[in-house]
Each structure stands twice: as structure tokens, then as C-alpha cells.
Amino acid sequence: MPKSAILPLTHLHDGKYGEIPEKENEALLHLSDPMVQSFNHAIGEGLQMAISNLPPVEMTTHDQPIIISLVDAKIYSPQVTSLMDEVHNTKTYPRQCIESGSTYKASLQATFGFIVNGKRMPYVEQNLGQVPIMVKSKLCSLYGLSPAELVQRGENLNDPGGYFIVNGARRILRTLTAQRRHYPLALTRDTWRHRQELLSDKGVVIQCVAPDETVSTNVLHYLNTGAAKLGFIINKRTFLVDLAMMLKALRDVNDREIVTIFAAMRGHDTFFIEKVKQMLSELAERKSH
């Protein structure tokens, strides 16, 4: 933590104690940094990456092929719907939601593209509903306000944010204990034995995370025969593929090169090298048939 973020107690004996400071307390603001920064990424760069990775939906209706794609999406700042032209400030502030027992939220607007029978149609904008907004995030009405401006709006100048307001109550998200990303972890699980014949209870698990935070859990299963299979999930379906086949698919190498690579890692382990050769031989036999 930087020196400026240390929380001292000397201000309690200061003659100016109780006066509104010019700047917010940095030590208190740092308490919510992980939550606020994560939410800012989700509503900005993360949202755009998620949109770019969504495949278009293809369907046929009335014998005409239709392709629907999500072109863009945007989350707005919380605002009240005004039916009167003389209302100048339509922003919604967290304190208003706490006092009224409502949710601090904003609309999610999406833009869809359509291709009907090979002809591109005009874009269609659609409101997809309301999204809770984190207090003190970039979309929050308190973002960038000085302590004096916070007090003027009835807000707590020492509030670090990092939480949501749902039905007037402050709600904070608890992070679950998850496996470290991109880190192989050797485990023993009895449930693996019942998935497929010859699977043992031993394997190596790794969680691979894409830039858009999409998680894929891959498991390198150890078989009772000494061989190995790679398990992965695609479209909610689990696949188990021989390790030798995966090595051939991911890299243009021959059997000798594969054995040489494994021998460089554990050349002293004759059992290990023999099992690598056995997997390659079994793969070659299946190809010949």
C-alpha cells in the first residue's frame, strides 16, 4: 500500500477535525479498489469482449434464413424517468434508493443486427432490462465528486463504495474460493473413477481463463493402464481425448519428436517413457484400422 494510503489517527487531535476536507481519505478508498475496479472492467472492456465472442444465432422461419447477432451493448448511469420538462437533474443517487427502499440500477441497451435471406436489415435497439450499479463505480452518480459535493447530496464522504443497493439495503458480493487460474493442480478424486472405464482417481486440473473471463476447466486424467487422457468441456458436453491425439492435433510433430520431448523431462523414468511410446503405438493402430 502506498505511503499516502496509510490510515493515521493524528487527524483526531487536529483543530480542523469535523470540517469537510478537500479530498477524500485515500486509505478508505483503497478498501474497495478490488470490487470497484472489477466492476468498471465488467461494464467497459469486459462487456465489449463478451459481445465480440458471442456467435450469431441462425434460424429459419417462413422458409427464410435469418441470422441474428449482438452488435453492441451499453449500460447507462442510474436515472429517473421524468415526465416533466422542467426537471433538470434526472440522476439517481444511492441515498435516494436507501431511503425509498428501491434498487440502485440502470438500463442495459443492446443493438441487434439482422440478416434476412442474405439481406442486411437496419439495426434494432432493445432495452434488455435493469442492471444493478456498484456505488462509486464509473457509472455511479457519485463518481468523481468532491467531499463537499458528496455532503451536499446527503452522502457519506467517507463511504468507499464497492457494494450494491438492492431494495434499499446495501449488498456486497462475497468472492468464492476458486482455483488459481492457469496453475496446474494435482488432485485425487474418487468421482473420476465412475466417469469412464480405466479412469483412475488421479489427475491434474488447470483452469484456463480467456481475456473475457470465460473459464474452461481442463483435466489430465491418469488411467489405470499408465496412459493419460485430456478432459475438457465444449458447449456443456464433456470430452475425453487421448493425450497422444491431442499432442498430434496441437503441434505438427512426429512420434520420435514427441518421445524426445518427454525423454528430456524424465528420461531416467523408463516406465514413463514406455507409456508414452505405448500411447503413440495405440494411436497409430487405430489410424490403420
Mean pLDDT of 17-32: 79
pLDDT digits (tens, 9 = 90+) for 92-148: 999 999 999 999 999 999 999 999 988 999 999 999 999 999 999 999 999 988 888
- 22: containing domain: 3-171
> What dihedral angle (degrees, nearest 10) is formed by the CA atoms of 277, 185, 234, 177?
180
Mean pLDDT of 164-181: 86
- Alpha-carbon distance of 139 to 104, in angstroms, equals 11
Please state, for a pLDDT cut of 70, what percent of the chain lies above it.
89
Q: Looking at the structure, do residues 212 and 161 belong to the same domain, yes or no?
A: no
Q: Looking at the structure, do residues 16 and 159 belong to the same domain, yes or no?
A: yes
Q: Which segment of 80-89, 130-139, 156-165, 238-247 scores lowest on mean pLDDT?
A: 80-89
Flag whether 176 is in a domain.
no
Q: Which of 148, 171, 194 represents a domain boundary (last residue)?
A: 171
User: Quick check: 58 pLDDT over 50?
Assistant: yes
How many residues does the structure list for the chain?
289
pLDDT at 53: 86
Q: Which of 114, 136, 171 represents a domain boundary (last residue)?
A: 171
Which 3 state secondary structure label does DSSP give 196? coil
Name the residue among 203, 224, 226 with its Cα closest to residue 277.
226
- Neighbour tally for 94: CB within 10 Å: 25
User: Quick check: 12 pLDDT over 80?
Assistant: no
Mean pLDDT of 209-223: 89
Name the residue among 77, 82, 109, 76 with its Cα closest to residue 92.
77
The band of 289, judged by pLDDT with boundaries at 50, 70 and 90, is: very low
Flag whether 177 is in a domain.
no
Q: Which of 171, 198, 223 represents a domain boundary (last residue)?
A: 171
Q: Looking at the structure, do residues 141 and 195 belong to the same domain, yes or no?
A: no
- Identify whether the C-beta of residue 199 lies closer than 8 Å to the C-beta of residue 193: yes
Q: Looking at the structure, do residues 161 and 225 belong to the same domain, yes or no?
A: no
